[in-house]
Amino acid sequence: MPHSRIAVSGSSGLIGAALVRSLRADGHEVVRLVRRPAAADDEVRWDPERAHVDVAGLAGCDAVVHLAGAGVGDRRWSDAYKREIRDSRVLGTAAIAEAVASLDTPPKVFLSGSAIGYYGDTGDRAVDEAAPPGEGFLPSVCVEWEKAAAPAEEAGVRTVLARTGLVVARQGGAWGRLFPLFRAGLGGRLGDGRQYWSFIALHDHIAAMRHILDTESLTGAVNLTGPSPVTNAEVTAAMGRVLRRPTLFTAPAPALRIALGEFAGDVLGSQRVLPGQLLDSGFAFAFPGIDDAIRAALR
């Protein structure tokens, strides 16, 4: 898109911060939604718990990108933290979608975060955006999270639900924890290693979001995953190859269940998710293979 005004929530997170850098490098004006009183010209206040957004700050935006939400793997899943995971996504998305819908001149596009957790455990079966939701806590959260974006869509705004996979990055997310372990020679497969991981290089994730903002034909769910999901055993081998470290350790499933609690089910679960919409719309991945994605993260 030509030089535009774009609002971004979750701009302090791994993906949000990288997106803001990318947009600003290309001359776009970015306003960041923050949860404290706005202290700079590029900040707009919002409070997801109170369903409040400073709507005036969104005026004139060509796009709104909503990426905020409590980290799924940040701590053990107590009942209270599961409620926080759900509420941070559902209430936050509803607040921003309603703010977008209320604008006299709404943005052209509302890009709202979601996750491939939507599909649940798919085993060896490859799925694309046409697949139904799975069963369990994360799929149920994703279904509610996506429904919360409806006010923007009903107001006629092109609404895209970005179902993010496992982002290969050094600075955060699941891979941010893997790199130090593998560098220390303590890396290894998780469980039997046969579970599929649907990964995407951080560079490709940001490029895909930029592609979504620019591609008017893209609406609804879009999987932000690379074109070639690999098993956890293949990830382990690739990490060892690229970092030139042994990968002798394994984390047995029972140990993971003790360490991670209920979240272990998702670490050990298999998700073989394909980016059907991205590929159909002509998006080209810079780092489609696992070795390439790992090398890109280390650059």
pLDDT in tens, 104-133: 999 999 999 999 999 999 999 999 999 999
Assign 256 a pLDDT band (cuts: 50, 70, 90). low
CA distance 230 to 241: 15
CA distance 299 to 297: 6
Looking at residues 229-254, what average pLDDT do you find?
91
CB 266 within 8 A of CB 117: yes
Would the pLDDT of 218 be above 80? yes
Would the pLDDT of 254 be above 90? no
Total of domains in the chain: 1
Torsion sign over Cα 217, 222, 225, 226 = negative
**Residue 16 three-state SS:** helix
- State pTM to two decimals: 0.94
Would you give the DSSP letter of residue 58? G
What is the DSSP track for 254-277? HHHHHHHGGGHHHHHS--EE--HH
How many beta carbons lie within 10 A of that of residue 97, not counting itself? 26
Torsion angle of C-alpha atoms 57, 58, 59, 64, degrees rounded to 10: 160
Assign 27 a pLDDT band (cuts: 50, 70, 90). very high
In 3D space, the residue among 39, 49, 60, 67 whose CA is nearest the CA of residue 104 turns out to be: 60
In the block, residue with structure tokens 């293979």:
289
End-to-end CA distance of the chain: 28
CB 227 within 8 A of CB 194: no
CA distance 263 to 74: 10
**Residue 149 three-state SS:** coil
Looking at residues 28-40, what average pLDDT do you find?
94
CB 113 within 8 A of CB 66: yes
Which of the pair, 7 or 178, is modelled with greater confidence?
A: 7
Q: Would residue 125 be called left, alpha or beta, if left means φ above 0 and alpha means ψ between -120 and 50 degrees? A: beta
Would the pLDDT of 175 be above 90? no
Q: Angle, nearest 10°, between helix axes 232-243 and 173-183?
A: 50
Assign 272 a pLDDT band (cuts: 50, 70, 90). very high
- The CATH number assigned to the domain holding 213 equals 3.40.50.720
Confidence at residue 191, expressed as pLDDT on a 0 to 100 scale: 87
Looking at residues 45-58, what average pLDDT do you find?
91
Burial of residue 40 (number of CB atoms within 10 Å: 0-12, 13-18, 19+): exposed
CA distance 176 to 183: 12
CA distance 6 to 66: 11
CA distance 114 to 57: 24
Domain hosting residue 176, numbered range: 5-298
